[in-house]
């Protein structure tokens, strides 16, 4: 699919993206926009080399693609100056290789913060109240009438939510859980989240002034402290060498037997084989997973676990956010083509 065939700059998108705003803004600025409609979900390096061709000024790519030395070298040979991931995470991008070829790299933070935090909150609630299990029970025609013990779950109010990685998304999630469900907060991050702390303190004072039990917060000195103390834990770190298998067998064992673990960051942050064993041995332990170690696959056994809720990497999937991501990715590429610093540069 090609827009503005005579445009001066050639910009390729490896996938169709939501909305038309991103196309219009590129076309208005003199770009020829080419959108790949190959009927396969994950494009190979060879597919993308074909798309880049002999002349390409910039590419908008996806987190499923391996943007390493080979692709940046091909893009550089084609005269390319810019690449943007349509994602905030860029663990699929070798930024050093891009720098080597003087190709600017962009990502799409900000526009997906609340949407992603809302999915983490949805998984938290769905796991706490066993919604997916209960839905399956109804559909299977097993409901025979109200019972005192039917699908009893956890009350979040007054429990402790633990957040690992209190950046934009982790902090937004923490605020939702504290304000929405009056949970106490414990968080671990390498940096102190003063904004988050100010919010929880002010909210605690507000509750107190209204005669309600104030919420408490604590900045943990280690990740293990969060794992031991929290009733509900949500993971929001970036994926790199230091966070690979952050949640492993030993750390799962530190968690409360009835804890809930939510992951909307990247799959490899959890050792999924260890998680399946843990779920099997601890039926009251529950997880809500949006991401998997080797997408699109799940480790054997995970799909059979009643105490696991699994969804296909949809945390940023709201219309507003996906259109925003596409627009930001286009602006990243366009800015660089026009000679400005990239709008959203993960190097900075
Ligand atoms: C991201 O942006 O990194 C998400 O995983 C997809 O929105």
Query: Do 9 and 98 fall into the same domain?
Result: yes
Q: How many structural domains compose the chain?
A: 2
Mean pLDDT of the chain: 96
pLDDT digits over 18-61, tens only? 999 999 999 999 999 999 999 999 999 999 999 999 999 999 99
Query: Do 86 and 12 fall into the same domain?
Result: yes
pLDDT digits over 97-133, tens only? 999 999 999 999 999 999 999 999 999 999 999 999 9
**In DSSP terms, which residues pair with 217 in a beta bridge?**
185
Query: Do 98 and 117 fall into the same domain?
Result: no
pLDDT of residue 191: 86
Index of the ligand 1 atom closest to the CA of residue 86: 2
Give 311 Cα–ligand 1 centroid separation in angstroms. 14
Residue 345, domain member (yes or no): no
Q: Please give the DSSP secondary-structure letter assigned to residue 38.
A: -
Q: Is the pLDDT of residue 167 over 90?
A: yes
- Take atom 4 of ligand 1 and give the residue whose Cα is closest: 87
Residue 82, domain member (yes or no): yes
Residue 21, domain member (yes or no): yes
Mutate to test the pocket of ligand 1, among 60, 65, 87 (most ligand atoms within 8 A of CB): 87
Residue 74, domain member (yes or no): yes
Query: Do 175 and 231 fall into the same domain?
Result: yes
Query: Do 182 and 101 fall into the same domain?
Result: no
pLDDT of residue 348: 59
Which residues constitute the domain of residue 185?
Answer: 113-310
pLDDT of residue 346: 77
Query: Do 165 and 203 fall into the same domain?
Result: yes
Index of the ligand 1 atom closest to the CA of residue 321: 7
Residue 154, domain member (yes or no): yes
What ipTM was estimated for this complex?
A: 0.97
- The residue with greater pLDDT, 348 or 24, is 24
Residue 347, domain member (yes or no): no
Query: Do 171 and 28 fall into the same domain?
Result: no
Query: Do 301 and 255 fall into the same domain?
Result: yes
Query: Do 61 and 134 fall into the same domain?
Result: no
Q: Cβ(89) to ligand 1 under 6 A?
A: yes
Kindly state the percentage of the chain with pLDDT values over 70: 99
Q: How far is CA 122 from CA 75, 302, 308, in A?
A: 40, 20, 14
Write the CATH number for 255. 3.40.50.720
What is the C-alpha end-to-end distance of the chain, expressed in Å? 34
Angle between the 113-128 and 131-139 helix axes, to the nearest 10 degrees?
Answer: 60
The runs of H, that is alpha helices, within 29-91 are 45-52, 69-77
pLDDT digits over 267-319, tens only? 999 999 999 999 999 999 999 999 999 999 999 999 999 999 999 999 999 99
Query: Do 42 and 144 fall into the same domain?
Result: no
Residue 62, domain member (yes or no): yes
Contacts of 243 (CB under 8 A, 6+ apart): 237, 269
Q: How many CB atoms lie within 10 A of CB 1?
A: 10
pLDDT of residue 340: 82
Considering the entire predicted model, what is its pTM?
0.96
Query: Do 170 and 230 fall into the same domain?
Result: yes
Residue 174, domain member (yes or no): yes
Query: Do 91 and 161 fall into the same domain?
Result: no
Index of the ligand 1 atom closest to the CA of residue 291: 5
């Amino acid at each position: 699919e090609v827009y503005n065939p005579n445009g001066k700059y050639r910009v390729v998108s490896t996938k169709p993206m939501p909305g038309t705003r991103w196309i219009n803004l590129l076309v208005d600025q003199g770009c020829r926009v080419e959108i790949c409609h190959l009927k396969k979900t994950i494009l190979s390096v060879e597919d993308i080399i074909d798309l880049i061709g002999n002349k390409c000024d910039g590419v908008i790519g996806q987190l499923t693609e391996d943007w390493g030395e080979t692709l940046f070298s091909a893009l550089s040979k084609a005269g390319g100056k810019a690449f943007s991931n349509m994602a905030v995470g860029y663990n699929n991008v070798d930024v050093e290789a891009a720098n080597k070829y003087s190709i600017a790299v962009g990502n799409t933070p900000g526009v997906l913060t609340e949407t992603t935090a809302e999915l983490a909150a949805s998984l938290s609630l769905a796991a706490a109240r066993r919604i997916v299990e209960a839905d399956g029970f109804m559909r299977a025609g097993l409901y025979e009438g109200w019972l005192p013990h039917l699908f009893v779950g956890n009350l979040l109010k007054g429990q402790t939510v633990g957040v690992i990685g209190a950046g934009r998304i982790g902090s937004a999630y923490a605020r939702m859980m504290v304000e929405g469900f009056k949970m106490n907060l414990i968080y671990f991050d390498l940096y102190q989240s003063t904004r988050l702390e100010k919010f929880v303190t002010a909210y605690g004072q507000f509750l107190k002034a209204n005669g309600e039990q104030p919420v408490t917060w604590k900045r943990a000195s280690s990740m293990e402290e969060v794992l031991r103390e929290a009733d509900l834990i949500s993971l929001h770190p970036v994926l790199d060498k230091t966070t690979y298998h952050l949640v492993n067998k030993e750390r799962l064992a530190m968690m409360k037997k009835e804890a809930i673990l939510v992951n909307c960051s990247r799959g490899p942050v959890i050792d999924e084989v260890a998680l399946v064993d843990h779920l099997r041995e601890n039926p009251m332990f529950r997880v809500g997973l949006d991401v998997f170690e080797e997408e699109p696959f799940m480790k054997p056994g995970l799909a059979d676990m009643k105490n696991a809720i699994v969804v296909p990497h949809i945390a940023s999937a709201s219309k507003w956010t996906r259109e925003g991501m596409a627009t930001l990715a286009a602006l990243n590429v366009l800015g660089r083509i026009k000679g400005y610093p990239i709008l959203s540069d993960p190097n900075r």
